[in-house]
Amino acid sequence: MASQPHRFPLPRTRRSWLIVAAVIAAAVASGLYVWSPIAAPTAQRQAKPRTERATAQAEKVEVELTADQVKTVTIAPVGQARFDISRKAVGNMDFNQNTLVQVFTPYQGRVISANVNLGDRVERGQILFTVDSPDLLQASSALIAAAGVLNLQNRTLKRVNDNLRGGGGAQKDVDQAISDQQTAEGALRAARDVMRIYGKTDEEVDRIVTERRADSTLMVRSPLAGYVTARNAAPGLLLQPGNAPAPITLADAKSMWMIANVPEADSALLQVGQQVQARVSALPGKTFDGTISVVGATVDPQTRRTMVRSEIADPDHALRAGMFADFTIRIGAPIETLAVPANAIVREGDGTMTVWLTTDRLRFEKRNVKIGLRQNGFVQILEGVRPGDLVVTDGALFLTNKLVGGPSD
């Protein structure tokens, strides 16, 4: 038999070291296996946010135009505009109820004719209606009698003066005649004043005296220029002074009321005396100035609105009661702030507002902005751009459409 190679037993110390080395190797291998699935995802998680931030920071929406396309847009620097601090509301025009005048006859009588109708425009001194008045007839008769007595006393005074100068009269007769003549003059003046109270002019009084014919027709004239808002006078109606309803009611049209209902949220900002500008659709381009006269003390529980009444100046009598009006209430001093033309703002599908900025007038970047007030064709910019930035003021929609359509459009 072939002899087997002889294996010498390892020393005890060497064998122990081999066992320890094997254990360590197994432990190292196991550690690598355990560390790899845990540490690797952690590293990935730590690196991922950095990548996302870098992508977000680098993300820009840009459009590049050719030289010919640039000619179709208007570019201007961001500037400032003046904005009024105000609130808007709608309302209706009405007559100023504080200036309504009820026209009564000063004395009783029966209506002969009514010369105006509801809604008519009247001038001061215009005849509104006429009344057959027995009191006026009596006053006319007293006027004629007073004029006759004065004529008699004038002739008597002349006669006694002539007698005194001729030596056939006494001074006491002259004195008495003078007293009687002065009394007659006073009575005539009083009679004429009564006729004026009835509405008769001096010419009409002179005609009554000259013709010696009493006039019972009482003419009631308008005390102001305005509009007829109520008419109760009718031929044959017996009138008593001060008895309601008034034969004619007039409204002074120099000022009108504008009554509006404003949102509850704005009611705390409104105060009596604030300036108001009103506009009506019937008179485009024309504004009417006024002031707030009353702010309602209650809020309608259904509409959550408060009544606000303003007095609007209307010297040309252009407004009519019942006209629909929109108005602006100034609640603060005007401000100068960053603004762009309204055409520069593009409303995106998600509701955000954007503008197109450029630095070289060839490449345009879309920028989100936060807007505020809109007035007179300008929009207030609160965030997103700085003064002097070049923005597209006309043609912004063209750039948006080009971005959606792609480079070929």
143: pLDDT strictly greater than 50: yes
Identify which has the larger pLDDT, 95 or 166: 95
Q: What is the pLDDT of residue 59?
A: 67
Distance CA 319, CA 322 (A): 9
Please name the amino acid found at residue 370.
K
- Strand blocks (E) in 39-185: 62-64, 74-77, 79-83, 86-95, 100-103, 109-114, 121-122, 127-132
**At 86, is the pLDDT very low, low, confident or very high (cuts 50, 70, 90)?**
confident
Percent of the chain with pLDDT over 90: 23
Residue 284: pLDDT band with limits 50, 70, 90: confident
Residue 406 has pLDDT above 80, yes or no: no
Under CATH, what is the fold of the domain 62-82+336-405? Answer: 2.40.420
At residue 19, does pLDDT exceed 80? no
Nearest to 292, CA basis, from 305, 274, 306: 274
Residue 192, both tokens:
């004429």
Name the residue with higher pLDDT: 405 or 322.
322
Residue 50 has pLDDT above 70, yes or no: no
User: What would you measure as the largest C-alpha separation in the chain, in angstroms?
Assistant: 213
CATH number for the segment(s) 253-330: 2.40.30.170
Beta carbons of 128 and 233 less than 8 angstroms apart: yes
| Per-residue pLDDT at 381 | 93
State yes or no: pLDDT of 14 exceeds 80: no
Query: In angstroms, rounded to a whole number, what is the distance separating the alpha carbons of residues 267 and 331?
Result: 11
In this predicted structure, the answer to whether residue 45 has a pLDDT above a threshold of 60 is no
**What is the number of H-type helices and E-type strands within the chain?**
7, 23
Buried b (16+ CB within 10 A) or exposed e, 256-272: bbbebbbeeebbeebee
Domain spans, the chain: 62-82+336-405, 136-212, 253-330
**Which tens digits make up the pLDDT trace of 296-317?**
889 989 988 899 999 999 888 8
Q: Which amino acid is at 310?
A: S
Q: What is the pLDDT of residues 211-265, one digit of tens each?
A: 888 878 888 889 888 889 899 988 988 888 878 889 999 988 788 999 988 888 8
Please compute the mean of the pLDDT values over residues 97-113 and round it to a whole number. 87
